[in-house]
Amino acid sequence: MTYTIESAQNIFSGTQIPSPIPATIALFDQLSVDDRLAYLWYAYTEMGRTITPAAPGAARLQLAEGLLTQIKQMSPEEQTKVMRDLANRIDTPINRSYGFFSVNTKLAFWYELGELMKQGIVAPIPTGYQMSPGVKVVLEATQKLDPGQQITVLRNTVVDMGFDTSDLAPSSSRKSAEPVFERTEPVTTNVKIEGINEPAVLQYVEAMNADNFAAAIALFTANGALQPPFQKPIVGHEAIAKYMREEAQGLNMMPKQGICEVQPDGSKQVKVTGVVQTPWFGVNVGMNIAWRFLIDPQGKIFFVAIDMLASPQELLNLRRM
């Protein structure tokens, strides 16, 4: 074998031009805790004038029910403290519970808190709060992003809140099944990608668009890896399957074009660009994405990286570099 995960990470390295998303999150991270919460409030409500997320289903909200009930019963001061603690990522029992939530349950939890804030059941941004110049800078940076990038900033800041439980073993009571996202759009089958006829790539998209993760996983080598945007590779069938169940449900992948280069050892390097929709925003927000696949000589996926493109022009950038 002439490739490793490290070498695979560098295929089509020209795709990885600096994204404005981590830069915006770095600005956000420099804000004080009240400014971070206020930024999220303004960014979310501003975005909500054009696009709003779909309400999370009852099954998903049920996973956050315990925390939400506790918070509803608190005084406004205590509620504000809980939100500050979450944004400060300190070690508290509530922050640990939140830390064990899946990405989509964290989003559902904040969705519901936002609704409760609007209804006056949970404390809003403190009255008299004065927006600092720092918040204005991050809001302006956010306004320059396209909608797909804006929702990625919101998602990633929400995911990073609470206590980091990655080094803690979840108790068995915390291993709740991930509720499904109901698909409202018909599933795209018979995928066609201009310039690509590699079966593993076409079958990958078909399986993912049907939430058939077993079929998608079967396309990977046993030591294969999937690298989500801005993350390290997730290696092996079991880890990839867990990740897909938690984070890839209900996605609508619309790859458009690609290139495939056969290497001397028979492996193939494939780059595909296109648009992905999340069930949270459906057809209203498209994210411009590149997939970089390394297919082994037997036609199995050894590696796939998913990159958020810096601009729509990058959709047409299939150059090697």
Cβ 87 to ligand EQ3, closest distance in Å? Answer: 7
Burial class (CB in 10 A: 0-12, 13-18, 19+), 28: buried
Q: Is 27 in the site for ligand EQ3 (CB under 6 A)?
A: no
Interstrand relation of 287-295 and 220-227 (parallel, antiparallel or unpaired) = unpaired
Q: Is 111 in the site for ligand EQ3 (CB under 6 A)?
A: yes
Q: Which of 135, 276, 295, 305 binds ligand EQ3 (CB under 6 A)?
A: 276
Binding mask 170-209 for ligand EQ3 (x = CB under 6 A): --------------------------------------x-
Q: Which of 68, 158, 207, 290 binds ligand EQ3 (CB under 6 A)?
A: 158
When the beta carbons of 228 and 299 are compared against ligand EQ3, the nearer one is: 228
Q: In what order do the strands lie in the sheet with 287-295?
A: 234-235, 220-227, 301-308, 287-295, 268-277, 252-262
Secondary structure E strands in the chain: 220-227, 234-235, 252-262, 268-277, 287-295, 301-308
Distance CA 50, CA 147 (A): 10
Q: Is 21 in the site for ligand EQ3 (CB under 6 A)?
A: no
Distance CA 315, CA 17 (A): 13
How far CA 210 is from CA of 72, 97, 118, 157, 250, in Å, comes to 37, 31, 36, 28, 8
Q: Is 306 in the site for ligand EQ3 (CB under 6 A)?
A: yes
Q: Is 101 in the site for ligand EQ3 (CB under 6 A)?
A: no
Size of the site for ligand EQ3 (CB under 6 A): 29
Q: Is 247 in the site for ligand EQ3 (CB under 6 A)?
A: yes
Q: Which of 31, 193, 248, 295 binds ligand EQ3 (CB under 6 A)?
A: 248
Q: Which of 64, 123, 287, 294 binds ligand EQ3 (CB under 6 A)?
A: 287
Q: Is 37 in the site for ligand EQ3 (CB under 6 A)?
A: yes
Secondary structure E strands in 62-140: none
Q: Which residues contact 141 (CB under 8 A, 6 or more apart)?
A: 20, 23, 24, 27
Residues that bind ligand EQ3 (CB under 6 A): 37, 40-41, 44, 53, 107, 110-111, 113-114, 117, 151-152, 154-155, 158, 208, 228-229, 247-248, 251, 253, 276, 278, 280, 287, 289, 306
